[in-house]
Chains A and B, each alone.
Chain A
């Protein structure tokens, strides 16, 4: 499919395709403005005066986005204009909430020690560096498909490392998903996620004809042959292993969900979704029967108030926070989000819900929605199958992760310990998600770039029988 000259985009070679870089600049400016406003409001509400470091923070944060914008202008001029502003406003809000929780910790205990917001700003800088590196090095997203199997292996190794390492290095709060070296802690699973999505995309583009066509129809559903179940079963087993050896419900669910949905996108067979759901149900049942840590999560989810003094305390506090926030919230700096344990990383959505209320939390969700929509749109428009699947997978990964996290915070789903992308405190998550957006920006540049106009025909028109249409 998709030969350039029957492509609707190429119908008028004369028209100038808008790059929309100035729109992006304006939106980025707006995002920085929102962040600065939020910072000022927090400082004025909590301490009554602006902190002197605010100027440094503002300058640094704005400079990050100026750099990002200039790099995009230079290396991906046709990229989607909304991806980066959405990321900017989300990470700005995240930094503000982390700073706000820092202030709360300082007020409770002046000796509270280090603040986390400057650390997070440093991680954002690392993330921007990764973003720039990917855009500069990766000039065409199709190059990734050449390294797909390598990346798949890297992803698996990254995923497996914490399980192999001794618990003293890899375990925090019961989840063995960390590498803690010399004061730094990294969650390799966040990077594994992206590597595996690239691998899934390349693998499924290769094999999708087999997975989609060889099927028989049972009760209106096209069921795949038994042996084609291999890949989905393999991923299922890997997710279960992650659950067993790393005790991490979140990564396990994330991995399996992404694969099943990418399988569905690649083959257009709804039966894969049903098979995935079936496998998930079986896995969930087994895990509940066999593993204590899963049972604790499920029990606290079903009735958090019964366990409010033990495992359910966090969730109960989060629900109280959301309830206190109400429709319009307590105002930035006006609530008590520090009452929720680990509010900065796992429960930052509860902090936002408490201080900005339902309207604020929904606004944040809609901004994520814009990000995801632009990703899916990129997937629709881009011409090559690998790019389509990769963009679809990456966009879905963000949406799925957000759904699982918010579900956990609001009590809709069992708690998982995934991070809210871009907002939550955590270096690995932030850096990895910047990498994810860099790949999306690269694909969207390819998607929106006009097809290069074909060279003018040299031969006389009379000799040319028809205009050449196929590529």
Chain B
């Protein structure tokens, strides 16, 4: 009788042990997905730097606020900024909805204009599809595929 009980304990105990292993493995997978680097990068508050900055003449940085590159910043200078999937873009997107040469930001007298470079899926400034060059105000979202950018 006791032997029979022991056998049953072995039988179910071992299955339990196997599934506990899988449970532990899934916990590691979960930590990798949500607790790891990816989570930390996404939770970087992109706005943290902005308020303390004294407003000089016009925006100084281009910040990615949504999409896989969230948190990336590019200091603005005189040169135009090329955005797209091509390797030589200033901001290289890895977005499936972005074209290789998607859009360009140009500085004209301290003000920045966005231009669509004939992309397949379009560039949007505040819900409006960019056709010709449009003036970008600081804080106005520019959307390219899943990526959103703004000037700060």
- Give the interface of A toward B (CB within 8 A): 1-3, 6, 8-9, 11-12, 15, 17-18, 20, 23, 27, 30-31, 33-34, 37-38, 41, 44-45, 81-82, 85-86, 89, 328-332, 334, 356-357, 359-360, 363-364, 366-367, 370, 373, 461, 464-467, 469-471
Sample of 13 more A-B contacts, CB < 8 Å, known A15-B37, A363-B19, A469-B74: A6-B93, A8-B68, A8-B71, A11-B41, A81-B28, A82-B28, A334-B11, A359-B15, A367-B21, A465-B79, A466-B74, A467-B73, A469-B89
Of the listed stretches B47-55, B80-88, B111-119, B129-137, chain A binds: B80-88
For A31, list chain B residues within 8 Å (CB). 21
A15–B44 Cα distance when bound, in Å, is: 11
The 28 sampled A-B contact pairs (Cβ below 8 Å) are A2-B94, A6-B94, A11-B41, A11-B72, A12-B41, A15-B37, A30-B20, A34-B14, A34-B18, A37-B13, A37-B14, A45-B10, A85-B25, A89-B21, A328-B11, A329-B11, A332-B11, A334-B7, A356-B14, A360-B18, A363-B19, A370-B26, A464-B75, A465-B77, A466-B76, A467-B75, A469-B74, A469-B89
For B10, list chain A residues within 8 Å (CB). 41, 44-45, 331-332
A45–B37 Cα distance when bound, in Å, is: 47
Q: Quote the shortest CB–CB distance from A392 to chain B (angstroms).
A: 17
For A44, list chain B residues within 8 Å (CB). 6, 10
A367 touches B25 (CB 8 A): yes
- Which of these, B7, B18, B22, B44, contacts A370 with CB under 8 Å? B22
B79 touches A466 (CB 8 A): yes
For A360, list chain B residues within 8 Å (CB). 14-15, 18
Could you say which of B20, B36, B37 has the most chain A C-beta atoms within 10 Å of its C-beta? B37
B69 touches A6 (CB 8 A): yes
For B13, list chain A residues within 8 Å (CB). 37
- Which of these, A9, A41, A81, contacts B37 with CB under 8 Å? A9
Q: Which residue of A lies closest to B22 (CB)?
A: A366
B74 touches A464 (CB 8 A): no
Known contacts: A328-B12, A464-B75. The answer to whether A470 contacts B90 by CB under 8 A is yes
Q: Is B57 an interface residue (CB 8 A)?
A: no
Q: Quote the shortest CB–CB distance from A105 to chain B (angstroms).
A: 22
A130–B32 Cα distance when bound, in Å, is: 28
Q: Quote the shortest CB–CB distance from A166 to chain B (angstroms).
A: 45
Could you say which of B8, B20, B72, B88 has the most chain A C-beta atoms within 10 Å of its C-beta? B72
- Which of these, A3, A45, A470, contacts B7 with CB under 8 Å? A45
Could you say which of A12, A329, A466 has the most chain B C-beta atoms within 10 Å of its C-beta? A466
Instruction: Give B84-111 interface residues, CB cut-off 8 Å to A.
Output: 85, 87-94
Q: Quote the shortest CB–CB distance from A458 to chain B (angstroms).
A: 16
For A15, list chain B residues within 8 Å (CB). 37, 40
A86 touches B14 (CB 8 A): no
Q: Quote the shortest CB–CB distance from B62 to chain A (angstroms).
A: 9
B15 touches A357 (CB 8 A): yes
7 closest A-B pairs by CB = A465-B77, A331-B11, A363-B18, A41-B10, A6-B92, A11-B71, A465-B79
- Which of these, A17, A34, A467, contacts B74 with CB under 8 Å? A467
Q: Which residue of A lies closest to B78 (CB)?
A: A465
For A470, list chain B residues within 8 Å (CB). 87-90, 92
Known contacts: A30-B21, A466-B81. The answer to whether A38 contacts B41 by CB under 8 A is no
Known contacts: A6-B72, A464-B75, A470-B87. The answer to whether A30 contacts B24 by CB under 8 A is yes
B87 touches A3 (CB 8 A): yes
A345–B70 Cα distance when bound, in Å, is: 51
B87 touches A370 (CB 8 A): no
B69 touches A8 (CB 8 A): yes
Q: Which residue of B lies closest to A374 (CB)?
A: B29
A23–B11 Cα distance when bound, in Å, is: 28
For A11, list chain B residues within 8 Å (CB). 41, 44, 69-72
A328–B10 Cα distance when bound, in Å, is: 12
Q: Quote the shortest CB–CB distance from B44 to chain A (angstroms).
A: 7
For A45, list chain B residues within 8 Å (CB). 7, 10
Q: Which residue of B lies closest to A366 (CB)?
A: B22
For B7, list chain A residues within 8 Å (CB). 45, 331, 334
For A332, list chain B residues within 8 Å (CB). 10-11, 14
Q: Which residue of B lies closest to A42 (CB)?
A: B10
Known contacts: A356-B15, A466-B90. The answer to whether A8 contacts B70 by CB under 8 A is yes
For B87, list chain A residues within 8 Å (CB). 1, 3, 470-471
A86–B92 Cα distance when bound, in Å, is: 37
B94 touches A27 (CB 8 A): no
A20–B35 Cα distance when bound, in Å, is: 12
A34–B20 Cα distance when bound, in Å, is: 10
For B78, list chain A residues within 8 Å (CB). 465
A23 touches B28 (CB 8 A): yes
A9–B8 Cα distance when bound, in Å, is: 49
For B1, list chain A residues within 8 Å (CB). none
A82 touches B29 (CB 8 A): yes
A461–B75 Cα distance when bound, in Å, is: 10
Q: Which residue of B lies closest to A6 (CB)?
A: B92
